[in-house]
Amino acid sequence: SDLQKQEERGELLQPLIFVLLVLCSVLLYFKVSLMDPGFVKPEEEEGEDKGQGVVTSQIPGDIKLRRCGYCLVKQPMRAKHCQLCQHCVRRYDHHCPWLENCVGERNHPLFIVYLSVQLVVLLWGGHFAWSGLYFEQSQEWLQHNIFLLVSFLLIFIFSIVLLLLLVSHLYLISCNTTTWEFMSHHRISYLRHSELENPFDQGIILNLWRFFC
């Protein structure tokens, strides 16, 4: 049968991998959106974030770690209170409205994996949509291909946005900084009074290693 011939030629493997990638992206979405991003709990108060001792010499000693005025916990360095989540988040990056959760110390690596898988799914879906198009200058052609054409345009736009988002996050990770620190550098005391522009930067390789591993 045709199905057996397609299986022998390996043509059924690609749709199967695509479906698995879509399933993986959905599972990653729920995982990142539902997991604890690194909420600071009162019983876990500490003077500094774990692993930041190697850079404290570059940060002025007169900078005091302050107590949050909202949840009343002592904020570790690089933590920030999120008004939407009503919690202080360790190594706060940003609050993602699509996930309805903060991106912080615990779920940031999975967030990057999710973006990468989602980008692959979109590019692959765009390839499927483009391969189904055949171009003719006629009214009937537009009627028969309008769905594929609109799908391809939407996928193309989302792919560009997602690619820019992923590249920007990877750049910030390679510098060992967060979106919040990058956007609000002038308002953060431990950065504004530091001798270095970014006291947490330890080189691209070590920054990536510490983040993902």
* pLDDT digit string, tens, across residues 116-162: 999 999 999 888 877 766 666 666 666 777 788 888 899 999 999 99
pLDDT of residue 48: 45
Torsion of CA 131, 132, 135, 137, to 10 degrees: -160
Per the prediction, the chain carries an average pLDDT of: 84
Say whether pLDDT at 178 is over 60: yes
Identify the band that residue 58 occupies on the pLDDT scale cut at 50, 70 and 90.
Answer: low
Q: List active site positions.
A: 96
Listed range (44-53, 57-66, 76-85) with the worst mean pLDDT = 44-53
Identify the band that residue 52 occupies on the pLDDT scale cut at 50, 70 and 90.
Answer: very low
pLDDT of residue 183: 93
Q: What residues have CB less than 8 Å from 104, skipping those under 6 apart?
A: 37, 38, 39, 89, 90, 91, 92, 93
Cα 159–chain centre separation: 14
pTM score, two decimals?
0.82
Identify the band that residue 3 occupies on the pLDDT scale cut at 50, 70 and 90.
Answer: low
User: Which tens digit of pLDDT belongs to each residue from 66-119?
Assistant: 788 888 888 888 999 999 999 999 999 999 999 999 999 999 999 999 999 999
Distance CA 158, CA 154 (A): 6
Report the percentage of the chain scoring pLDDT > 90.
Answer: 53
